[in-house]
Structure 1
Amino acid sequence: MGHARDPRYGARSQADLIELLAAQPLAWLVSPGGADAAFTPLPLRAERGRDGALVALRGHLARRNPHLARLRRDPQAHALLLGPQAYVSPRWLDDRTQAPTWNYAAAAFALRVSLSEAPDDIAAELQALVAQMEAGHADAWHLEEMGARYARLASGVTALRGEIVEVRATFKLGQDEAEHDFGQILQGLAANGEDALVRWMRAFDSRGGAGDAPA
């Protein structure tokens, strides 16, 4: 991420990373290099310590996935997360001499992975993921509704915990735009239905949205 070392585009706090994970949990788990390089898309949850700090990412992998063998050999991995993103067109601007760009929120987590096939660990992970994804729905689904099918599902997965070693995050959300251009970009994105990106841009806008949290 080319903007990762520019403080203008950094997370304001860990709350931004936690919100990004909650809004877009599907990430790439990556173990690069070697003949057994592995790349798996999977949902990941934030684990927070007693002080509220983000300490790990949690998820599960199918036992038939060859990525597990790689993680047992080498527990170092990366989780790559891409949140709201969209092309920004100069056609939305009064000044059409400007170049197009791309606004986005993204994070890369370096992880030290541990795996568990203990039934209690698997049950806890599956319950937590379902609870997170079903939260807020009047007709929320519960894992217990699977009945006898649950045992077959649980026997086929491995629980995963990735201790966070390093985070590089980029929230490129128009911080460098002139106020007039920023407003026109928001209008253009909103007209294209990019509501999630618009909310993040407004939240990061120090001209009027400082301190707001993306909804």
Structure 2
Amino acid sequence: MRKTPAFVLSDEAELRRLIELNPWITLVSHTSKGLVASHYAVLLDDSRDELAIVGHLGRPDERLHELGQHEVMVIVQGPHGYISPSWYDAETAVPTWNFTSAHLSGVPEILDPAENLRVLDRLVEHFEKHVDEPRLMRGTAENSAFADAISAGTVGFRLVPTRIDAKTKLSQNKPEATVDRIISELEGDGPYASETLASEMRRVRGEK
């Protein structure tokens, strides 16, 4: 990403929040046969003090990515949306896109089957806990046997990034009056309305 000092995201707590709220990532590998990309859900690794994520690939994606043999990039995408120049006070302006995104790069560690199963168990519990009748991987003996079977079709990984390139571009370089108008348009009913993006802009600005 282009380096713009005003938009650099380096705070680890903010990075963790971004990942936790946006777990559906893009995994990119530059393999011996060219670029490969896949999409999976990840979790923050609660077993580590440093920033790390865990996830899995369905076989044979791990072979396509040559997982563990070289550096990969995980792309995390937060709230984003189109910003019209008609929302600015200035007479001359260009359209832009507000967004929050992070690129986490490093060589992933391949998890052994037991740890992979624990990660899968956590992943299912993380999302299922919000439904009325959660279906956990190990809720019953039958579920446990099924979990053992399906986990064999996956390959777990841990990524402790050695490079992080993250950016929060939410009109921080604009006058307060202009930011107010952008947020108002995003909260409206126009074609580019986005309550999620408006809420993130308010949060970054320090509003409750």
CA deviation vs aligned residue, 1:15-58 (integer Å, no higher than 9, x gap): 1111110111111111115315321111122225665x41x211
CA apart distance, 1:96: 5.0
Deviation track 1:155-183 (CA, whole Å, cap 9, x = no partner) reads 10111111211111000011011111100
- Residue 202 of structure 2 is aligned to residue 202 of structure 1: yes
Write out per-residue CA displacement over residues 129-154 of structure 1, whole angstroms, 9 at most, x where no aligned residue. Answer: 12222344454432235724323211
Q: How does 1:115-126 map to 2 (within 5 A)?
A: 115-118=110-113, 120-126=114-120
Give me the TM-score of the superposition, normalised by structure 2: 0.85
RMSD: 2.3
Task: Determine the C-alpha separation between the residues in 2 that align with 1:139 and 1:13.
Answer: 37
- Helix, strand or coil: the match of 1:37? strand
Cα deviation per residue 1:71-118 (whole Å; 9 max; x = unaligned)? 24x232111111111000123344453211100000001122111342
User: Matches of 2:157 and 2:64 in 1, distance apart?
Assistant: 10
Cα offsets for 1:173-206 (capped at 9, x unmatched): 110111111001001112244122112211222x
Mean CA deviation greater in 162-171 or 94-103: 94-103
- Is 1:59 the counterpart of 2:55? The answer is yes
Residues 1:189 and 1:69: Cα distance change in structure 2 (over 3 Å) = closer
| TM superposition score normalised by structure 1 | 0.83
Q: Which among 177, 187, 193 is matched to residue 180 of structure 1?
A: 177
Q: Is the 8 A contact 1:40 1:67 kept in 2?
A: no
**Distance change in 2, residues 1:194/1:139 (3 Å):** farther
Corresponding residue for residue 153 of structure 1:
150
Q: Structure 1 pair 49/117, CA: closer, same or farther in 2 (3 Å)? A: closer
Tell me which amino acid in the other structure corresponds to 1:47: D
Q: In structure 2, what is the equivalent of residue 84 of structure 1?
A: 79
Percent identity between matched residues is 25
Label 1:66 to 1:47 Cα distance change in 2 as closer, same or farther (>3 A).
closer
Q: Structure 1: which amino acid aligns with 2:168?
A: F
Letter paired with 2:42:
L
Q: Counterparts of 1:181 and 1:113 in 2: how far apart (Å)?
A: 43
Give the direction of change, closer, same or farther, for the CA distance of 1:11–1:45 in structure 2 (3 Å limit): same
| Matches of 1:35 and 1:187, distance apart in 2 | 47
5+ residue gaps, structure 1, are: none
**How many residues matched?**
202
Structure 2: stretches of 5+ with no match in the other structure:
none
| Contact 2:121–2:138 (8 Å) recurs in 1 | no
Contact 1:36 1:70 in 2 (8 A): no
Identify the residue that residue 104 of structure 1 maps to in structure 2.
99
**Would you say the 8 A contact 2:36–2:65 is kept in 1?**
no
Q: In the aligned structure 2, how far is the partner of 1:36 from the partner of 1:12? A: 30
Residue of structure 2 aligned with 1:113, choices 105, 108, 133: 108
Question: Aligned partners of 2:92, 2:83: CA distance in 1, in Å?
Answer: 13
3-state SS, counterpart of residue 45 of structure 2: strand
Deviation of 1:69 (Å): 5.9
